Amino acid sequence: MDNNATKESWKTRLYAFLQNLGKSFMFPIATLSAMGILVGIGSAFTVPSMVERLPFLKIPIVSAIFNFMNTVGSFGFTYLPAMFAMAIPFGLARRNKGVGAIAAFAGYIALNLGINFMLKMRHQLVSPAKMSAAGQANVLGIQSLEMGVLGGILVGLITYYLLEKFQEIKLPDAFSFFGGIRFVPIISVILESLIGLIIPFIWPTFQAGIVGLGHLIQRAGVFGPFLYGIALSILKLMGLHHILLAMVRFTDAGGTAVVGGKTINGALNIFYAQLNAGVPISHRATAFLSQGFMPTFMFGLPAICLAIYVTARPENRQRIKGLLVSATLVAFVSGISEPTEYLFLFIAPFLYVFHTIMQGLSLSVMMILGACMGNTDGGVLDWILFGILQPHSKWWILIPVGAVWFAIYFFFFRWYILKKNVKTPGREDAGDVVMTQHAGIYDPKVILEALGGADNIVSLDNCVTRLRLEVKDPNKLDEDKLKQSGALAVMKAEKSVQIVYGAQVQSVKDGVEKEMGNSAIIG
């Protein structure tokens, strides 16, 4: 009995760790997405065809502004591995997050210095012209191996471990100044520089495995994006989809291309590099990016909301209108799907299976038709910035595909809801807890009370749409009250809890934290 409990506890801890790891990836990914908008605008108004079409773009100050936007936007692409290294301990640690980030940055530099030292000792450093072919790169001014974000992830995980282990270390009196949190950057630099000495011996084998995975995905042709879309939809249920997103976007698993004489790995990295360089965009790269999600996010999800509205009881439609309009706008503009998905996921899992297959088909269809639009979100902003404003993007393909997707989603969901009498919002039986928009929604006092009070919360954080918690006693959660407060879904894995609030989750988390602080003061 104890062994089973221990095993279950280990599984739960691993699951919680992977969830938090995926959440940590959102820091650099969100920054990169924002910087991508700058690249999209800057590149759109500096390409020769656009300059010829709009003569005012030839004015030096106007041209300089858009080139500056392009330059600043490339920040995320250039320093992404270091950002991943810093984001992981910052996102995973419960205390001294800033110390973890600083230690990770120092450790990342030390790792590459160690790699550089060993390459020099083995006479493997090559000239700048041959670095790309040799798998080497200039990393923060250090000639090292091109490990991409995997190098940053490795450093981030090691630094997080060191932070948790040594942040309270006590040293002898003569060295006490270097104890506690000051010891963490020190041990990070020492240990990760030593790991850097080992990396040149093991990296080629590890890299070959990733390249093999990338070739497997690429050789799958139109089935590659299809399987990718399905995998993301399944992993999203567990909050682990960000890990797969990062692998395909930033490593060899998402493809490899040579841009401007430099080898670039990862679908999103390739897209940004080609966009910046003003060269033709790779259809193989964009097949895994936002173009494939646009039919689903911009057309399919709004169609689901419309189907839910028309199948609701007439007297309930006004009550649910705000909820559905909010979910539609978030999906259409920002490409955030959870507020719509959690309207039907738990009451009609078959509809989620249908939605998953349609999402996979969406990626494959857009690839087959030759669309060439990148970035991360799949909403209307991506369509405008990386489609309409970009040459050769075939942005217009989305219109007929989107119309078909809207019709398929609407008629299938309407048919299934009515046939199976699915209790989507507006169709609940008397006495059921209902989801709606009302004056008291997202009330932090109500939410904290429903969570069992401040004393029941061990840790509190959030990702794009979910409140993520660890609680002392999950039985103290009042799920009905949480849903009345605006929660779309509550998921528990022992003491790890996820509560889906949609786009307002950041304000929910901030409000609950404030209430927890007030509770501590009163107590």
Q: Which amino acids are annotated catalytic? A: 463
Cα(253)–Cα(242) distance, integer angstroms = 14
Specify the amino acid at residue 112: N
Residue with tokens 């009330």: 443
Helix residue spans in 132-279 (DSSP H): 148-166, 183-219, 223-236, 241-250, 267-277
Q: Which of 77, 195, 185, 190 is nearest to 137 (CA)?
A: 77
Single out the residue of 122, 117, 123, 121 nearest to residue 143, CA to CA.
Answer: 117
Residue 402 bridge partners (DSSP): none
* Amino acid found at 306: L
Give me the amino acid identity at 399: I
Q: Is 410 helix (H, G, I), strand (E, B) or coil?
A: helix
Residue 408 tokens, joined: 């398929």
Question: Contact at 8 Å (CB) between 255 and 218?
Answer: yes
Residue 185 dihedral angles phi and psi, to the nearest 5°? -60, -35
Please give the span between the terminal C-alpha atoms of the chain, in angstroms, as a whole number: 38
d(CA 199, CA 115): 7
The answer to whether 124 touches 116, Cβ cutoff 8 Å, is: no
